[in-house]
């Protein structure tokens, strides 16, 4: 080849490289896409390009976002075409607070959610007994305190009527109080002489001293330890069912807040089998009253092994108090309905502060369950102390739940860059919330119930989830509650603290980009942008344009995780 030919070849090569680089920079396709989604109403969560029509995906990543004409250019011989048909396309949703194995196992057990009263509960239990005869344990969950009227707490007598010889153990909807019958109490060896365990209360009859069947907080462990554990295969089957349901509801990632660290190897096995359709961020649950050397060893070993886009064991969960309904949440002042109690923290503040500072020094993200206003203050104080000791950096501290908070502490979320990880459906204004919860805390504290808008207005970051199996993992019901602060029936008429309502956009962000920020992944997840993981969903209705009271009826049409179509609704 002569000199002129060589120069021409070099120019053409240079032009080709420059064009490829420019195309890559502009999000245009060089390789044919694996999947393209077209004819959609794409809400990106990217402020530079809020809306689009279509998305191209290649090797699990988003390679282009734009209009149909441009994205169609990515079509190749093997490209899968998904026609959104004008429907809303969103980034995949994240549930920022979940107990995934517990929720998955609950799918095959007695469900008491929505029961009206004791008679309704007994009806469901009789139906379960008919379908599942035998003498093995009857397990389930979902009752709430309002179902028992003025009694508030359940009693074993209602279970003994149906199951005199079969052990029954039923978790309250919040997971903080459990209900056992006489057979279960006997198997656990609980008598009138059994002492309360640390951070637990065996509720007793004031006349006889006998256990009533209600077990608060850690006391449930006395029964739980005698229940046969599910096998590994049973757990895997449950997890597959749980992931299928999560994908069906539009979830592409979850943040586990306890109960899943111990089975992280099962998630890894599912990944190797090709069954993992949900990204997992898993926290180690640090039991009170203090950090032990083996805790740090377990956390560091897990994080060293699992820290990728699919399984990440990079967080630690504390629990400083209980719940309002059973008076175990820690309050600054006594409960309104029981002036003798303020609730007792599960951690001594000094031990908690020391553990927070030590784990923060090692770089772990920290979650703290705090429901009462004193519990929330303990968490904020510990985080502030850790910052003073370890100096300022990007920590992404989180407080989970925050059901009520002192006025003076609301602006501290923004000042300390603390993430408010909250669960909209916990504020659902039914009888349990308005008649039991609000009565217990009193009017002043109830005026700051689930104050997510006040926290956001003060500069705090919001991240939303469910706490499944405490409530359904269905995020659409959560978004509706965040936007309306009303029940499905539209009560209260003006809303429960309507000043705390969010816009649909704010609620969606708390499940997408806000959730990604809460998991330290906003650079790779949470929005539909070039270079980010291809996690996106197509839904049945445009939740930005409809009556907000209909958001909860939203159905997912398709769910894509990592560029793989993991759920598609039946077209019939």
pLDDT of residue 254: 98
Can you tell me whether residue 301 is helix, strand or coil?
helix
Q: Model pTM greater than 0.95?
A: no
Residue 300 maps to a domain: yes
Q: Does residue 426 sit in the same domain as residue 510?
A: yes
Q: Could you tell me the two tokens for 569? A: 């609704």
Q: Does residue 362 sit in the same domain as residue 476?
A: yes
Residue 414 maps to a domain: yes
Residue 535 maps to a domain: yes
User: Which is it for the CA torsion 479, 285, 222, 109, positive or negative?
Assistant: positive
pLDDT of residue 19: 40
Can you tell me whether residue 280 is helix, strand or coil?
strand
- Across the beta sheet with 88-91, the strand order is 51-52, 41-43, 88-91, 536-539, 556-561, 564-568
pLDDT of residue 570: 85
For the domain that residue 132 is a member of, what is the CATH number? 3.10.310.70
Q: Does residue 391 sit in the same domain as residue 501?
A: yes
For the domain that residue 556 is a member of, what is the CATH number? 2.30.40.10
For the domain that residue 327 is a member of, what is the CATH number? 3.20.20.140
Residue 21 maps to a domain: no
Q: Does residue 375 sit in the same domain as residue 425?
A: yes
Instruction: Give the number of other CB atoms < 10 A from CB of residue 351.
Output: 13
- What is the residue-level pLDDT of the chain in tens, covering all 572 positions? 555 555 554 554 444 444 444 444 444 445 799 999 999 999 999 999 999 999 999 999 999 999 999 999 999 999 999 999 999 999 999 999 999 999 999 998 999 988 999 999 999 999 999 999 998 999 998 888 889 988 889 999 999 999 999 999 999 888 889 999 999 999 999 999 999 999 899 999 999 999 999 999 899 999 999 999 999 999 999 999 999 999 999 999 999 999 999 999 999 999 999 999 999 999 999 998 888 899 999 999 999 999 999 999 989 999 999 999 989 999 999 999 999 999 999 999 999 999 999 999 999 999 999 999 999 999 999 999 999 999 888 999 999 999 999 999 999 999 999 999 999 999 999 999 999 999 999 999 999 999 999 999 999 999 999 999 999 999 999 999 999 999 999 999 999 999 999 999 999 999 999 999 999 999 999 999 999 999 999 999 999 999 999 999 999 999 999 999 999 998 65
- Across the beta sheet with 365-370, the strand order is 93-98, 251-256, 279-285, 311-319, 365-370, 398-401, 419-422, 461-464
pLDDT of residue 16: 43
Q: Does residue 365 sit in the same domain as residue 416?
A: yes
**Is beta strand 93-98 parallel, antiparallel or unpaired with respect to 200-204?**
unpaired
CB burial of residue 136 (10 Å; 0-12, 13-18, 19+):
exposed
Q: Does residue 368 sit in the same domain as residue 489?
A: yes
pLDDT of residue 21: 44
- 273: Cα within 13 Å, side-chain hemisphere: 11
Q: Does residue 59 sit in the same domain as residue 129?
A: no
Residue at a domain's end among 224, 240, 262? 224
Nearest to 460 by CA among 393, 379, 398, 502: 398
| Distance separating alpha carbons of residues 183 and 197, to the nearest angstrom | 20
Residue at a domain's end among 194, 224, 254? 224
Q: Does residue 237 sit in the same domain as residue 191?
A: no
Residue at a domain's end among 224, 249, 283? 224
Which helix (H) or strand (E) segment is 508 a member of? helix 504-511
Q: Are the C-beta atoms of residues 517 and 46 closer than 8 Å to each other?
A: no
Residue 143 maps to a domain: yes
Nearest to 321 by CA among 336, 332, 313: 332
pLDDT of residue 522: 98
Paired residues of 202 in beta bridges: 215
Q: Does residue 377 sit in the same domain as residue 335?
A: yes
Paired residues of 529 in beta bridges: none
| Distance separating alpha carbons of residues 137 and 230, to the nearest angstrom | 12
Q: Does residue 291 sit in the same domain as residue 213?
A: no
Residue 104 maps to a domain: yes
Q: Does residue 454 sit in the same domain as residue 499?
A: yes
Q: How far is CA 395 from CA 300, 362, 456, in A?
A: 17, 11, 18
Residue 17 maps to a domain: no
Residue 2 maps to a domain: no
HEC readout, 396-413: CCEEEECCECCHHHHHHH
pLDDT of residue 458: 97
Q: Does residue 564 sit in the same domain as residue 483?
A: no
Q: How many domains does the chain have?
A: 3
pLDDT of residue 393: 85
Provide the domain limits for residue 149: 100-224
């Amino acid at each position: 080849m002569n000199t002129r030919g060589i120069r021409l070849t070099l120019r053409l090569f240079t032009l080709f490289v420059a064009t490829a680089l420019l195309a890559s920079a502009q999000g245009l396709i060089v390789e044919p896409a694996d999947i393209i989604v077209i004819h959609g109403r794409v809400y990106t969560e990217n402020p530079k390009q809020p809306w689009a029509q279509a998305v191209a995906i290649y090797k699990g990543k988003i390679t282009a976002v734009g209009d149909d004409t441009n994205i169609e250019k990515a079509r190749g011989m093997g490209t899968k075409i998904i026609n959104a048909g004008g429907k809303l396309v969103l980034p995949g949703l994240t549930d920022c607070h979940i107990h995934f194995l517990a929720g998955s196992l609950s799918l095959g057990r007695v469900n008491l959610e929505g029961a009206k009263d004791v008679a309704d509960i007994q009806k469901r239990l009789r139906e379960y007994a008919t379908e599942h005869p035998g003498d093995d344990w009857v397990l389930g969950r979902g009752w709430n305190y309002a179902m028992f009227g003025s009694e508030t707490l359940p009693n074993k007598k209602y279970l003994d009527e149906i199951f005199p010889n079969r052990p029954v153990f039923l978790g309250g909807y919040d997971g903080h109080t459990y209900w056992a019958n006489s057979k279960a109490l006997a198997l656990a060896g609980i008598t009138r002489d059994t002492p309360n365990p640390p951070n637990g209360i065996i509720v007793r009859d004031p006349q006889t001293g006998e256990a009533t069947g209600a077990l608060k907080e850690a006391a449930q462990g006395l029964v739980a330890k005698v229940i046969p554990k599910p096998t590994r295969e049973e757990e895997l089957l449950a997890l597959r069912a749980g992931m299928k349901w999560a994908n069906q509801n539009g979830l592409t990632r979850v943040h586990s807040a306890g109960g899943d660290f111990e089975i992280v190897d099962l998630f890894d096995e599912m990944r190797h089998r090709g069954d993992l359709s949900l990204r997992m961020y898993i926290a180690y649950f640090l039991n009170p009253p203090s950090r032990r050397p083996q805790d740090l060893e377990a956390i560091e070993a897990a994080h060293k092994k699992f820290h990728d886009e699919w399984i990440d064991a990079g967080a630690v969960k504390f629990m400083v108090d209980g719940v309002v309904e059973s008076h175990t949440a820690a309050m600054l002042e006594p409960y309104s309905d029981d002036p003798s109690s303020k609730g007792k923290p599960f951690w001594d503040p000094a031990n908690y502060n020391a553990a927070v500072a030590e784990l923060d020094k090692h770089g772990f993200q920290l979650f703290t369950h705090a429901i009462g206003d004193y519990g929330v203050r303990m968490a904020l104080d510990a985080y502030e102390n850790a910052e003073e000791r370890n100096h300022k950096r990007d920590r992404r501290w989180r407080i989970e739940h925050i059901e009520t908070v002192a006025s003076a502490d609301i602006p501290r979320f923004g000042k300390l860059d603390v993430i408010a990880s909250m669960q909209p459906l916990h504020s659902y204004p039914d009888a349990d919330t308005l008649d039991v919860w609000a009565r217990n805390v009193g009017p002043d504290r109830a005026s700051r119930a689930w104050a997510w808008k006040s926290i956001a207005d003060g500069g705090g970051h919001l991240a939303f989830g469910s706490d499944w199996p405490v409530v359904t993992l269905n995020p659409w019901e959560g978004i509706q509650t965040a936007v309306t602060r009303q029940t499905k029936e539209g009560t209260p008429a003006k809303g429960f603290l309507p000043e705390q309502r969010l816009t649909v956009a704010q609620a969606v962000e708390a499940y997408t980009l806000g959730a990604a920020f809460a998991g330290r992944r906003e650079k790779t997840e949470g929005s539909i942008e070039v270079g980010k993981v291809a996690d996106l969903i197509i839904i049945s209705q445009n939740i930005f344009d409809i009556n907000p009271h209909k958001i909860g009826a939203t159905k997912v049409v398709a769910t894509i995780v990592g560029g793989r179509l993991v759920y598609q609704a039946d077209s019939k």
